[in-house]
Chains A and B, each alone.
Chain A
Amino acid sequence: MSIRLLKAVLMKIGFWALVALLVCYAVFPFYYAVITSLKPSSALFQIDYWINHVDLSNYAAVLSQSSFVQSIWNSILVAFCVVGISLTLGLTAAYALGRVRFRGRGAVLMIVLGVSMFPQVAVLSGLFEVIRTLNLYNTPWGLVLSYTIFTLPFTVWILTTFMRQLPGELEEAAIMDGATPWVTLVHVFMPLMWPAMATTGLLAFIAAWNEFLFALTFTLTDSQRTVPVGIALISGGSQYELPWGMIMAASVIVTVPLVVLVIIFQRRIVSGLTAGAVKG
């Protein structure tokens, strides 16, 4: 009996050690970025595992760069516009795909799924041409347009999945009353779709906030960049003396909103990710 007890205790210790290890592995790099960002440049090259300094000079330095502040605004603008467009187009498409049975529905779903698998670089030259033709090169609007290539497919996909689960009686009543499909969508379904829209909106926001390849290729000047590009291009006197303190401060600034969003909305994000992927 005592051996069994010992075994149970050991199992428990082992389990908690594993949990601690996983949490450390997941959190440590970000924690280390925070520590580094709080160091004065004199202490940058000594290695600390704990917060020994609270020095905000790196943050002050980053935020005094007008191009970095501008890139934050650009990122916010782009991300919100992408979310708005994706949700609007995604919701109407999801109504059609989720509630109406018609020829070609399977084909449209296939197209949407296919686009979500596109490698971004495969459309790079063509999209560059489209953006230049529309006079959107080196503007946030070019990025808004190009980001729909990856946000729209999963928005449509997840919203369609949610739309299908709503009971049919609701719509039946609306149709009996002679409501048009548009009225049905706006007044019957939209109020019920808010949770799903919040989920997909969050995922689209994160995807747009983090995108790099298009942002790097379709913008040229400092004032039009988004934060990932801004951070990637922070440089010092030479390749070997990067201002790590500033880079880490900038990283923390752009990541904290996301980490907060994830912690607050983790259930929603998890359900969105699994709905999108398990179904698609």
Chain B
Amino acid sequence: MSFAAKSRPTEPGAYNQPAPRGRSTRVRRQRVRAAWLFLTPMLIVLALVAGWPLLRTFWFSVTDATLNSMEGANFIGFENYLIHDAGGWYGLLADPEWWNAVWNTLYFTGVSVGLESVLGIIVALVLNAEFRGRTLVRAAILIPWAIPTIVSAKIWAWMLNDQFGILNHLFMTLGLIDAPLAWTADASLSMWAVIMVDVWKATPFVALLVLAALQMLPSDCYEAAKVDGISPLKVFFRVTLPLIMPALLVAIIFRALDALRVFDVIYVLTSNSSSTMTMSVYARQQLVEFQDVGYGSAASTLLFLIIALVSIAYLYLGRRQLGGDT
């Protein structure tokens, strides 16, 4: 059933559709009308849960809305973002906490996506080799991906427990550390604890995408390299890596989009600690805990804009893959 993996190149020409020739325009018009009718429910739902709420968030970000009076919000311009008042700058863009959250998010994204890519490639190369029990190993590798983020955060919180955690015990037995580390409480370690959990959970996703690409590679260039006696490492960097690059890039962008909006791992593992606070955690804290919908919406809007920039870059790169008649 792996037809999906082989389905990548969908040229517009390969489009499976009844040829229009010899058919009256009435049927065609009926089909187009039906198409829009079929699309309408989905578009209505998306407008209700995505389009309209997003516009409202934009609107709230320029008001003084609070959680209890969202309807009666007053327009206050860009005061939530930046305001010069009584000799000082205030607002989101002048808030060191916000910039700390931005930096944390970027740091988290960069490090965890980087590690996931490297590890993901290694896992994919292993799974691409022919060996007994490969299906079983693949299933085992998939397990972290299926475990709910909250559960994996809790399991790791327990394993990273400063007094009774197995990781401290293991590291001390191996002689890597002298004293137990407070992984989630220590400000200099907690970001690494979060990254550790995210890498554990997300590597399978990267590995699967890379594996799908590996399995589509032509085998003849490998045979040629083998005959020529080129070292496997060289083959990997000169042949394999460039060929799987498109799939790897897709995986990286998907992971980066996920990492930029990360919330649940951090909320469960380190709650609102400022050393791991990301943009999503910051925005939710303002919105829900401080009930400052206006200010929180401003933070959400900025996060949205950052992610939109990344997405647009991706859509621009992947435009040709959309196929069909744009």
Contacts and interface: CB of A to CB of B under 8 A. Distances in A.
Interface stretch (B53-61, B108-116, B186-194, B235-243): B53-61
A32 B161 CA distance: 13
B300 A267 contact: no
B210 to A, nearest CB: 10
B18 A122 contact: no
B52 A277 contact: no
A123 B144 contact: no
Given A102-B36, A171-B18, A33 B158 contact: yes
Contacts of A109: 322, 324
Given A124-B284, A195-B1, A166 B16 contact: yes
Contacts of A121: 261, 263, 279-280, 283-284, 287, 300, 303
A85 B45 CA distance: 10
Interface residues of B, number: 112
A258 B140 CA distance: 13
Interface centre among B30, B46, B129, B311 (most CB of A within 10 A): B46
Interface string A181-198: 110010000000001000
A50 to B, nearest CB: 12
A76 interface: no
Interface stretch (B4-12, B75-83, B85-93): B4-12
A166 B268 CA distance: 44
Contacts of B35: 95-97, 100, 102, 181
A227 B41 CA distance: 29
Interface centre among A89, A95, A156, A231 (most CB of B within 10 A): A89
B8 to A, nearest CB: 5
A172 B146 contact: no
B260 A181 contact: no
Given A36-B158, A254-B148, A117 B257 contact: yes
A5 interface: no
Nearest to A25: B200
B250 interface: yes
Contacts of B260: 119
A181 B53 contact: no
Given A92-B41, A93-B39, A93-B42, A29 B159 contact: yes
Interface residues of A, number: 114
A231 B315 CA distance: 37
Contacts of A216: 267
A180 B34 contact: yes
A168 B15 CA distance: 9
A231 B154 CA distance: 8
B42 A92 contact: yes
Contacts of A228: 148-151, 264
Contacts of B293: 125
A111 B51 CA distance: 10
Nearest to A115: B50
B221 interface: no
Contacts of A195: 1
Interface in A105-164: 105-115, 117-130, 145-146, 148-149, 152-153, 156, 158, 161-162, 164
A19 B321 CA distance: 35
Interface string A203-237: 00010011011001100000000011101100000
B276 interface: no
Contacts of B268: 232
Contact of A255 (B148, B263, B300): B148
A47 B326 contact: no
B98 interface: no
B2 A271 contact: yes
Given A93-B39, A164-B16, A278-B250, A26 B143 contact: yes
Interface string A251-280: 100110011011100111111111101110
A44 interface: yes
B322 A23 contact: no
Contact of B34 (A89, A96, A232): A96
A272 B38 contact: no
Nearest to B301: A122
Interface in B246-297: 247, 250-251, 254, 257, 260-261, 263-264, 267-268, 279-280, 283-284, 287-288, 293, 296-297
Contact of A266 (B70, B135, B288): B135
B205 interface: yes
Given A119-B307, A273-B208, A277-B209, A212 B150 contact: yes
29 contacts: A26-B200, A29-B200, A47-B166, A85-B45, A89-B41, A92-B42, A95-B35, A96-B36, A113-B315, A115-B46, A117-B257, A117-B311, A124-B57, A125-B56, A126-B57, A127-B49, A128-B70, A130-B56, A164-B10, A164-B15, A166-B16, A182-B34, A212-B267, A213-B280, A228-B148, A271-B1, A274-B4, A274-B5, A275-B7
Which 10 A-B pairs rank lowest in CB-CB distance, beginning with the nearest? A126-B53, A126-B56, A106-B326, A275-B4, A119-B261, A181-B34, A96-B35, A271-B4, A210-B148, A122-B304
Given A100-B31, A118-B304, 6 more contacts: A106-B324, A114-B315, A125-B293, A158-B4, A210-B150, A270-B208
